[in-house]
Structure 1
Amino acid sequence: MKNIFKITLMCTALVVVGACTDLDEVLVGDVTEQFNGTEPSFGTFDGGGPGPADAVASAYNQLRESGSANHGGYWSVQSVSSDEMAVTQKGGDWYDGGIWIDMHRHTYGPTNGPVTGTWTAQYAAIGACNTSLASGDLDANQTAQVRALRAFFYMRLLDLYGRVKIVTTPGADAPQSTRAQVFNFVESELLGALGITNVIGMDLSSSPLATEHSQYRINQYAALGLLAKLYLNAEVYSGTPRWAEAAAAADYVINNGGYTLCDSGCSVPNPGKRPAVATDPDNLEGYAAVFAPNNKDNPEIIWSIAYDNVSGANMNFAQMTLHYSSQFTWNLQNQPWNGYSALEDFYNSYDDADKRKEANFIVGPQYDYDGSAILDYAATDGNLELNYTTSINELEPNASRKGGARLGKFSFRQGQRDNMDNDFPIVRLGEMYLIRAEGEARNAGNWSLALTDVNTIRARAGVPALASITADEFLAERGREMFMEVTRRSDLIRFGKFNDAWWEKPADAPFHNLFPIPQEQIDASGGTLTQNPGY
């Protein structure tokens, strides 16, 4: 079978979550290429579907609707504001009123669209949880799950905006709470869902949450994982460190959950394989398998968001990051948008032997399904071959369309639609090792206590064990492991690095550690919402 793809070398204008909004982009030209081959069929492929259809499904579905892994919302504001990546302005392409430049440089204000949209999406999710809880149709286990799920959405608001309203009844309003009060609410809800009052010496024998592994539903270990994440940032959120509790919650998951790191021998068939390209592996193994399109039931994942290309939409990393012509590598249904790319310094923080480097990034010359060089007919540098450089010439106004390593951690499949099949981990065992390591080290004031767990993670990555470690080295290791998993902004804040200068971003003031309360929310609140300091 011979498929013919027509590439229009311009950015398609999209609404709300589209790649760009410049309707005046100049049409460079149409290129018609022949694609030889057929869309592969993987008999064992299972993207997982949209998750269970049960009494709590409507609440869980909000995980996909709240910007968790698509352009323009929660994932974007967390990631682009960090030193992981940028959305560069490529002429008239991706300017979008400067919102992504502001996000990168921390010059965002209360009218920034993604900041506003992220707030609205989290409250929509909380509303769905409140409706589910008020229905009277849930048993004790389901009630505990939705309480924990609602607490997770409040964790996002706590992290991003700090001072928010704690609304627990459908259609109700509430006064604005302090950040410490929001922290206390989230903690109490997660502890209540678990049926305990403290994670130190906990007894979960009466917990309404189950222990069975259910990747798309919250069990005891998922709730404890959320508590571990909450306690890790407790000093930032509440002013009081809770390192011992962070370590204890993570330790319980590691020792009692029955989950295992996906290492050698843990593999799935590679859905992105090009039969004519010998360097494409038949299988994805270890770290790469955790984030693959067929990562359902991965033994490392404790709780994840169920995405599916047909019935569970809103993960579109391939569209967000790939150059238009990379459509030919994966036989994509539609042309990508060429937006997001990794910062060179972050890419260079990996050792070349680190397996995570190959899994996380797409760099170098690009080839189509048949192994032929892909051409970029809009190239302005005289070189038509598509080659992703690790360097980016500038953030704006004329960034290279081929600049920057592309985001490949959540890998792509052949014949992929705009929406992806990869499930997105919220709690996974690899991070639990890192939380236990940091909690124990900080609690004792001795970073050497982190070495055992850090070296467990490094061994999986195929890099040598460390003999010693500092706080900065730990932060770098955590960054390498957790790339694209929306932890980097919070990690930089916790380590006092978020306001540092990095590529195309000057040092900025600490008030940017919280996003502004959206102005439209303040205007509509009748005086019950006030702005965060500095804005």
Structure 2
Amino acid sequence: MKKKILLLSLCFSILFANSCTDLEEEVLDESLTGGASPEAAADGIIAPVYAAMPELFLHTRYFALQEITTDEAILPFRGGKDWGDNNIYIDLHRHNPTSQNVPVNDAWRSIIIQGVTRSVTAINALAEMEGDAAKLYWAEAKAMRAYYSMLSLDLFGLIFVKDNLSETSTIMRGNDAVEYIKAELLEIESQVSNNVGPGRITQAAVWGLLARLHLNAAVYRDPYADSFSFSTEDLDKVIEYCDKVVALGQYQFSPEYFEIFDDENHTNKELIFAVDQRSDLNGHNRLAYFSLSGDQFPLPEFPKANGTDGPAITPDFYHSWTDAYGGEDPATKDSRFYKKNLNIPADSCMTGASFEIDRGILRGQQYGLQTPANGTPFTRCGDGGANYKVGKLFNRTRGLASVPVNFTEFVNFTEAGRGYSNGYRVLKYEFSKKSDTGRNKGDADIIILRLADIYMMRAEAKLRKGNAADALTDVNTVRASRTARITPPALGEMTLDILFRERGFEFYWEMQRRTDMIRFGKYEGSWTEKTDTDKRKRLFPIPQSAIDGASEIPGYLVQNASY
């Protein structure tokens, strides 16, 4: 018996049978017999389903759609030279992408052409196999198809449903799509394990995804509504599934907030579901390097591993922190905002092992490894060369050796606001200690679902049902759990605006902001360079290549409104 694994023959087969576009992957047929154990064969079939995840969670795909479109992140045309890219990120921030927008097209391919299609192939192959491993992986493949479908529904307002690649997919929207995803997850709820790591689907992950589905169901059923009707049934389900995860007692809050995002976080007890990026899986380091200055080199042993002067946080998001703490420095009030690792000038001469740059939201003059004018190698101290010199950073890699790397609050798309030091930056995920280029070899699991989100979803469901007291308790439980350094003070009241603000504090840079803004009715607001109020921009355009590929079936794939 031969099964198609690893790469799939697409020919746009997730949409319809017997029609091809240029969106093709190579077909690799591998025999699953000939000495391979049933467990190894099953491993080979499920692997491509999960292997689609790192590419989806690249900085220029799902991150761009979920963060740069929001009040959390902005990516200017840096210095008039970098990250212009035909305005694709500017258009995202302004809610003005086209059907040719590269991040939108890349996310579509990762989710639908790779994720959903690979899941369908695995489901079919595993259904024909014997053994416990095949049964377990079949359930995981079903859950992953549901997860990819949920992403498609969230971003594009539709899902493609088929059980065999030779069939023409049925397109579902609205309530039909919600009910389909729910049924898929409920079918395998009792068939997956809770004894595998966060890089695979577990029962807790299924419950968490069901909670997320029900929390957003009002949006998914009517994405252009003037206001959303959150049903009691949906909110009760959110509470029910969150209660189940908490009752397991398997997950724990991390006292040190930034340890959740360390480069070796796979065993962190707060993670429920994540993209497994351990080095043997060839992960990427993009979420760490993306926002840092080109003159920030976090790894003394790798002088080619630096930042790229990408997105900054917006002044609007920064002020949500300062306003919450009465104008006082958030770094002194909330350990989630910032973690200081470099002490300058006391630590101006350091060993490589002790050098670690700051984490969180980075402001003001930045310090780090010193480089001569040509950028390499790092300058050693005058102590025989064992230690590295650490001091003020300048924009040498940008040809601006006299201009300090001094991050400012001010950032926008004007010439004055798009300089290399404009905007406060974010280093939430630790820069991988194995990343010799700064781009690849990331060890950090990219988080999809963690315990704090379970508590926060439950809090929101309770609050929308009118139980502000219990919602406040859940939110304060999360805040009180960060005990390693500065524990945020308990909140005294809970409203939807406070909860929205609190989700921003807990989950910034974790690719939840767009979905949150839509659900809380904030997405049509104004921030930095964004003034568009068109509620139809809640969904992204369907790529023109997909519409062209489906053109032989009239009316089959219709572009989303306003595009």
Q: Is contact 1:64–1:312 with CA below 8 Å preserved after alignment?
A: no
CA contact (8 A) 1:388 1:402 kept: yes
Alignment equivalent of 2:489, drawn from 464, 467, 476: 464
Cα displacement (A) at 1:94 = 1.2
In 2, Cα distance between the equivalents of 1:208 and 1:415? 36
1:322 aligns with 2:302: no
- Give the Cα–Cα distance (whole angstroms) in 1 for the partners of residues 337 and 43 of structure 2: 37
Conservation of the 8 A alpha-carbon contact between 2:463 and 2:495: no
Q: Which runs of 5+ in 2 are unaligned?
A: 1-41, 223-229, 322-329, 339-358, 370-388
CA distance, structure 2, for counterparts of residue 380 and residue 58 of structure 1: 43
Structure 2 vs 1, CA of residues 141 and 324 (structure 1 numbering), >3 Å: closer, same or farther?
same
Partner of 2:7: none
1:287-366 matches, cutoff 5 A: 287-309=257-279, 311-327=281-297, 331=302, 333-350=304-321, 351-352=330-331, 353-358=333-338, 359-366=359-366
- 1:115 aligned partner: 104
TM-score (norm 1): 0.79
Partner of 2:498: 473
Tell whether the 8 Å contact from 2:472 to 2:494 is kept in structure 1 after alignment.
yes
Normalising to structure 2: TM-score of the pair? 0.75
Contact 1:393 1:400 in 2 (8 A): no
Aligned pair count reads 447
Pick the aligned partner of 1:83 from 71, 96, 101: 71
In the alignment, the residues of structure 2 paired with residue 228 and residue 345 of structure 1 have an alpha-carbon distance, to the nearest angstrom, of 29
Following superposition, the deviation at residue 254 of structure 1 comes to 1.0
Most deviating of 407-416 and 448-457: 407-416
Instruction: Return the letter of the residue paired with 1:485.
Output: E
| Cα distance in structure 1, aligned partners of 2:276 and 2:400 | 41
CA distance in 1, matches of 2:169, 2:107: 19
Maintained 8 Å contact 2:296/2:307 = yes
1:332/1:126 CA distance change after superposition, 3 Å: farther
Using a 3 Å threshold, how does the CA distance of structure 1 residues 354 and 237 change in structure 2: closer, same or farther?
same
Note if contact 1:395-1:504 (Cα within 8 Å) is conserved in structure 2. no
Matches within 5 A, 1:156-305: 156-194=151-189, 207-239=190-222, 241=231, 242-263=234-255, 286-305=256-275
Task: Report the Cα offset of residue 345 of structure 1.
Answer: 2.2
3-state SS of the aligned residue for 2:172?
A: coil
Distance in 2 of aligned mates of 1:130 and 1:251: 31
Residue 447 of structure 1 aligns with an amino acid whose one-letter code is A
Aligned equivalent of 2:396, options 369, 377, 380? 377
Superposition misfits of 4+ residues, deviation over 6 angstroms: 378-382
The 1:56–1:332 alpha-carbon spacing in structure 2 relative to 1, beyond 3 Å, is farther
Larger Rg: 2
Report the CA distance between 1:335 and its aligned residue.
4.1
Q: How does 1:131-146 map to 2 (within 5 A)?
A: 131-135=121-125, 136-137=128-129, 139-146=134-141
* RMSD across aligned positions (CA): 2.2
Give, in whole Å, the separation in 1 of the partners of 2:165 and 2:416: 45
Pair 1:386-2:357 in alignment: no
Identity score, percent: 30
- Establish whether residue 515 from structure 1 lines up as the match of residue 507 from structure 2: no
Deviation of the 1:454 alpha carbon? 0.6
Give the Cα separation in 2 of the matches to 1:157 and 1:393. Answer: 30
- How far residue 303 of structure 1 moved from its aligned partner, in angstroms, is 1.6
Instruction: Give the superposition deviation at 1:485.
Output: 1.4
Distance 1:387 1:172 in 2: 56
TM superposition shift of 1:415: 5.6
C-alpha separation in 2, matches of 1:460 and 1:303? 20
Mapped to 2, the partners of 1:89 and 1:225 lie a distance apart of: 38
Q: Give, as a single letter, the amino acid of the residue that structure 2 aligns with 1:148.
A: A
Shift in Å, 1:71: 2.6
Q: CA deviation at 1:55?
A: 4.6
**1:530 counterpart residue number:** 558
Post-superposition Cα deviations, 1:95-119, rounded to whole Å, max 9, x if no partner, equal 1111111100101122212112211
Question: 1:502 matched to which residue of 2?
Answer: 527
